[in-house]
Amino acid sequence: MPFENVLIETHDGVATLTINRPKSLNALNTATVAELCLAVEQVADDRSVKALILTGAGDKAFVAGADIAEMAHMASPAALTFSELGHRLGDLLESLPIPTIAAVNGFALGGGCELAMACDLIYASEKARFGQPEVNLSVIPGFGGTSRLARRVGPHRARELIFTGDLIDAAHAERYGLVLAVLPPEQLLPHCREVAKKIAGKGPLAVSQAKKVLAAGADLPLQAANALERQAFATLFGSRDQKEGMAAFLEKRPPRFEGH
């Protein structure tokens, strides 16, 4: 399906979604968020895709935020609809059975920071800047920032960033635990593709179950989380991929996983 504001590329089991509004610093208007929802659903339907990379067009911004020119004219009902759409996109990314990687190549502010945090892994260019500056406009994060930022960097740091609206550079984001690594701009996408390709070569059922248990277990007491792990661990022993993976290990050859 062709999109106006989103590009999709698939290669070697890795899909790359690029938000393509560079003249607007890839700002998220309603049309773009709706297209991203459809694009993520399209990726979910493609069983050949084993990992997803999300990035922004150009070298200035991942996503500079939600489109203020559009939001400025919203009343409360329209703002609620827009927020619900943004939350739907975050939920779609988190519920994908494959890992998602945010390649943050520039500004990731407001909705852009929230979009990155809906991904499993975040890597950043040295040029990246992060922040939830919504209070500067007398609003608050509306796409999941209040909850996801606290889970990424801890509640005290999240309060500081949201209350002040301050921006942080990539080095601070790495120090706070928001990003995994900071790379020179020209190395960002190659690094993310290397990580995605490595993931794509693992047992897809196991990766999917690991993502599911990690997400569900994070909000559960330890005993309940461990119960989820035990069940998923045992369930995987009913798959052909588990038999193939262990046979390949014993036979000292690369495994041939099929997702069954």
The predicted structure's pLDDT at residue 156: 97
The pLDDT value recorded for residue 161 is 98
Residues annotated catalytic, as ranges: 114, 134
Instruction: Report CA dihedral (57, 136, 162, 110) to the nearest 10 degrees.
Output: -20
What is the spatial distance between Cα 240 and Cα 237, in angstroms, rounded to a whole number?
Answer: 8
Contacts 24+ apart (CB under 8 A), 19-23: 19/54, 19/55, 19/56, 19/57, 19/62, 19/63, 20/57, 21/57, 22/56, 22/57, 22/58, 22/60, 22/61
Report the distance separating Cα 197 and Cα 15, nearest Å. 10
Residues 6+ positions from 77 with CB-CB distance below 8 Å? none
Which residues, 6+ apart, have CB-to-CB distance to 157 below 8 Å?
Answer: 176
**What is this structure's pTM?**
0.95
pLDDT of residue 2: 78
| Strands 167-169 and 129-131, sheet pairing | antiparallel
Place of tokens 């050949």: 48
Question: Do 66 and 46 form a contact (C-beta atoms < 8 A)?
Answer: no
Q: Which domains does the chain have, with CATH numbers?
A: 6-200 (3.90.226.10), 204-251 (1.10.12.10)
Find where tokens 């975040």 sit.
122
Query: Contact 140/93 with Cβ under 8 angstroms?
Result: no
Local confidence pLDDT in tens for the 260 residues of the chain: 679 999 999 999 999 999 999 999 999 999 999 999 999 999 999 999 999 999 999 999 999 999 999 999 999 999 999 999 999 999 999 999 999 999 999 999 999 999 999 999 999 999 999 999 999 999 999 999 999 999 999 999 999 999 999 999 999 999 999 999 999 999 999 999 999 999 999 999 999 999 999 999 999 999 999 999 999 999 999 999 999 999 999 999 999 999 99
